[in-house]
Amino acid sequence: MCCRYVLQVETLQALAERLALSGPIVWRTRYNLAPGEAVPVVRMSPGGEGREIAFLRWGLVPAWTRAGGREEARANARAETLAERPAFRSAFRHRRCLVPASGYYEWRSQGGRKQPWLFRLRDGAPLVFAGLWENSPDRAGGGLETCTVITTASNQLAQTIHNRMPAILAPDDAKRWLDPRLTDPSDLAPLLRPFAADAMTAIAVSERVNNVRHDDAGCLEPVNAPDAGDGTDQMSLNL
């Protein structure tokens, strides 16, 4: 699963350049983004005029639920069931997005404590999660736009901490994910595979991350994690 991540402004700028997005980037670095917050996503403009950055609430609310209703918001969606789940199947075909990140957190329990680990790409490039977005209408004719991060089975590195990880897209796959001409689940599902383990690193970081009120660079501070298995506080694979 993915319920907390980092997004530095430099990451968003780099992704905007890669995807040839125009316009200023209005964002401040966030170190501890959590469900329920407004997060930037890249999607095809609803008007069909190219790609855009939109700010959507993290936690997808199905289209049949009126904004403000009691329907549970879904921070994550399992890749394996997108085509069947009523909450996701229409968005899977027609409302896909990219969720940019600099890194994401996952937790390992140790002696009654939860030790956070920060996963990033080895080369420092932006992480691009596959996502879906939705619009829940209200009686006034407006609506609430929400999004979810898709998860898949963990790769060899991530599975040391958790059995799920975000579906991270390579650059070419990210462009295909946004292609509105692709609507058949059989064409889209192959993009949602575990990312290459040898391209990623993981490092144990401060338990400040455990409290969503902490949102500063201290969240990224490396710490010792004796339970790492090999006695180190950093993991990577050379396959």
Please check the confidence at residue 58 and state whether its pLDDT lies above 80: yes
In terms of CATH, what superfamily is 5-236?
SOS response associated peptidase-like (3.90.1680.10)
> What rounded mean pLDDT belongs to the chain?
90
Q: Which two tokens stand for residue 3?
A: 């319920």
How confident is residue 204, by pLDDT bands cut at 50, 70 and 90?
Answer: very high
How confident is residue 177, by pLDDT bands cut at 50, 70 and 90?
Answer: very high
Please check the confidence at residue 17 and state whether its pLDDT lies above 60: yes
Could you tell me where the DSSP H helices lie in the chain?
A: 9-18, 89-94, 171-178, 185-188
User: Do the beta carbons of residue 53 and residue 25 sit within 8 Å?
Assistant: yes
According to the model, what pLDDT value does residue 112 have? 83
CA neighbor of 118 nearest in space, from 133, 102, 132: 102
The number of C-alpha atoms within 13 Å of 206 and in the hemisphere containing its C-beta is 14
User: What pLDDT, in 10s, does the model give residues 91-103?
Assistant: 999 999 999 999 9
According to the model, what pLDDT value does residue 140 have? 65
Q: Output 112 or 79, whichever has higher pLDDT.
A: 79
Cα–Cα distance, 1 to 75 (Å, whole number): 9
Q: Is 54 helix (H, G, I), strand (E, B) or coil?
A: strand
Range with the poorest average pLDDT among 36-45, 107-116, 163-172, 186-195? 107-116
Please check the confidence at residue 181 and state whether its pLDDT lies above 90: yes
